Amino acid sequence: MERPTKFEHSRFLGDKRTQLVYDLDDWSDEDVINDIVDAGVGLTFGPDSLAEARNRGYTLAMPGKTRRMRKPRQ
């Protein structure tokens, strides 16, 4: 999948609503990523690693895995 323009230099993209992190190199469902970008709830991590995402409370997204949507904190 092609990375969104806003996140073109990041591999891991977090969704603030669900606390799930998506590996843009392995994820194939573009609709989910486009929804995150369009809603403005995407988050990148520094350093750009899965370990840093987990350190912030995010869980790696798997196909079919769902979580309750929550309103992100401002």
pTM for the model: 0.87
Residue 63 has a pLDDT of 86
Residue 71 has a pLDDT of 76
Whole-angstrom distance, CA of residue 9 vs CA of residue 55: 20
Q: What is the pLDDT of residues 17-60, one digit of tens each?
A: 999 999 999 999 999 999 999 999 999 999 999 999 999 999 99
Burial class (CB in 10 A: 0-12, 13-18, 19+), 70: exposed
Q: Check whether 15 has a pLDDT greater than 90.
A: yes
Q: Which H, E and C letters describe the chain, residue by residue?
A: CCCCHHHCCCCEEEECCCCEEEECCCCCCHHHHHHHHHHCCEECCCCCCHHHHHHCCCEECCCCCCCCCCCCCC
Domain ranges of the chain: 5-60
